[in-house]
Amino acid sequence: MRVVLYTTYFANLRKLPDRIVPISICGKAPEWYYGLQYKNLAPKWSFFSEWKKSHDNDYYIRCFNEQVLNGLSAENVYSELISLSNSFDIALVCYERPNDFCHRHIVASWFLSNGIIAQEYSDKEGEKMPKYKIGITEAGDAGIDLSWVNKMDSVDGAILVTKCITPNFHDAAIRHKDKVIIHATLTGYGGSVVEPCVPQPYEEVDAILTLVDNGFPKDKVVIRVDPIIPTAKGINVALNVIKDLIDNGFTRYRVSIIDMYPHVRDRFKAAKLPLPYGDNFSPSDTQINAVNDMIKAAIDYGESVGYERRTIRIESCAERGLTNSITSGCISVYDLSLLGLDIDDEDICSIGYQRKNCLCYAGKTELLEHKGQCPHKCIYCYWRTK
């Protein structure tokens, strides 16, 4: 019988049944705690101390992934934890309450992306694990790395993210059209210094239209304008992309605003491009408001060419201040419905999320094994250049 993996916090230890063994994964456990500890999953002091000053959760997540998780094997860690617990069920323990930002939620997401389900422990009766396993291709580009194809039998559905609808991807997507939703990323920068190895925008639009013409359902294509560079020029580029795709009959979009990690700022400087936020990581309120206005302008445009406002669906997830977009995870109840899977809002909210402020279904699992910058070499990529 597979050992069940939970997460919890120190103040909740008294509620754990005897069958669940607590294992601390924090840097320093409370003085009163004499239980098991597993330091390999603890955050590094260098970025933890920086986060304590800034409370920049995205910075923490990136550092934790790069400096802790990327050097570990989920299966090996799982085996080591089982050895520590003598094959009893396990609760990985840290300090914060369930709805607060905590690295144990990042660890749980990492395990899940590697096929090992972990969830926050609750003593409530009827607490449910994710009903479905939904694949996603966030670690690379599904149009280039087709390793996801061999994993389709192990998931109930999949979100395929790509900037490049290659012939092989086209054929595979058609074969699996009943089981996948495509996020076609189109920022308007293909072939430029920002996305040097991405197809030109007109080439990608042609590829998307060909895919639909050959039988892929249009309502299962999401145009992903990700990221938006919130300068006057960048916002105009994003708006023109959305207008062009509305003219081609697409009504669902996902948007995000560029994150300026230190290594991304270095790439911008090397390319002699201006830094949209100066030396800051996040956009200003003025820039966020400008993106908000762009979203409204896009919906207004859709209405002006004959669509009802409610049919132009522009989504965002964990984007502060984008009140004109629909707040939605990249795997939502709406997506599960499109995939023909039966689950309601109460179910999805009771299971938990990938991380705080992320609204994705907890059954999300990564389908690509390569972890690093893909051949597109986008200047804004969160993966560091090796």
pLDDT at 263: 84
pLDDT at 185: 98
The amino acid occupying position 318 is A
Domain range summary for the chain, segments of one domain joined by +: 5-120, 134-366
Instruction: Mark out the alpha helices in 198-311 (DSSP H runs).
Output: 201-213, 232-247, 262-270, 285-304
**Which single residue is written with the structure tokens 């000053």?**
53
Torsional sign, CA 37, 98, 350, 363: negative
Is the Cβ–Cβ distance between 162 and 184 less than 8 Å?
A: yes
Successive 10-residue mean pLDDT values, the chain, 386 residues: 82 86 94 92 92 88 92 89 86 91 92 83 61 86 95 94 97 98 98 97 97 98 97 98 98 94 90 94 91 97 96 87 88 89 59 49 78 88 75
115 token code pair: 């096929």
CATH fold of 134-366 reads pyruvate-formate lyase- activating enzyme (3.80.30)
State CA 155 to chain mean position distance.
17
Q: Is the whole model's pTM more than 0.75, yes or no?
A: no
Give all strands (DSSP E) within the chain, no chain letters. Answer: 5-9, 20-24, 36-37, 89-94, 118-120, 134-136, 157-162, 180-185, 221-228, 252-257, 313-316, 326-327, 364-366
pLDDT at 2: 62
Residue 227, preceding peptide bond in cis (omega within 30° of 0): yes
pLDDT at 180: 98
C-alpha distances out from residue 234 to 188, 190, 256, Å: 9, 13, 12
pLDDT at 371: 65
pLDDT at 351: 45
**Which single residue is written with the structure tokens 């109460």?**
346
